[in-house]
Amino acid sequence: MFETPLIERFSRIHPATPFVFWLPVLGFAGWRAIADGVGLPAFAGLLLLGVLLWSFAEYTLHRWLFHYTGPRPWQRRMFFVLHGVHHDFPQDSDRLVMPLGASIPLGVVFYGLFRLAIGPVRVGPLFVGFALGYLAYDGIHYAVHHFRMSSSVGKWLKRYHMIHHHTGANARWGVSSPLWDWVFGTMGSAPKPQAQD
């Protein structure tokens, strides 16, 4: 995808890498919040709010940033680099989770925004929930492309995401959750089963 070998190398990532990097960071952030006096009910509420915020960020980033092509050549190239390559090569296992070169800066930005909004003590549980939502997204996205999903929820999520990929529908922007597609009416229509002769 890139002519520069170093940039090409950093555009690829093993699917376990986000978990190996982020889980210790989140463990520390959670421990720090409890040490600073955040009680269990507040921690749980902020964590759930963080997961909900992630699901909204996932929907909006995927719908309006990752699928924005724009009229200029550099905009089309940016679309391809950010997300178009995934639609062209959906089974490329090295490009199914977000590289750390993107997730770390995004994590810092969201952490900073959350800290400004709710302060230095409560930001920990909110960010932990947000980042756990992100890790769920990465894990689910990898699984629907590379694993046989045997549970009814897994089969449903796989079909939900594959319709986004393969029908050309301008819909189904969530990956780990259909919540915001339901809220904003962007589920689209599922293809009808083909009649057997």
Per the structure, the complete domain to which residue 119 belongs is given by 5-150
> Has residue 170 been placed in a domain?
no
> Has residue 185 been placed in a domain?
no
Tens of pLDDT, residues 77-123: 666 666 656 655 566 666 667 888 889 999 999 999 999 999 999 99
Tens of pLDDT, residues 148-174: 889 999 998 988 888 877 775 678 888
Residue 10 exposed, middle or buried by CB count within 10 Å (0-12, 13-18, 19+): middle
Position 127 confidence tier, pLDDT thresholds 50, 70, 90: very high
Number of structural domains found in the chain? 1
> Has residue 110 been placed in a domain?
yes
> Has residue 190 been placed in a domain?
no
> Has residue 175 been placed in a domain?
no
Its pTM stands at: 0.85
> Has residue 70 been placed in a domain?
yes
> Has residue 187 been placed in a domain?
no
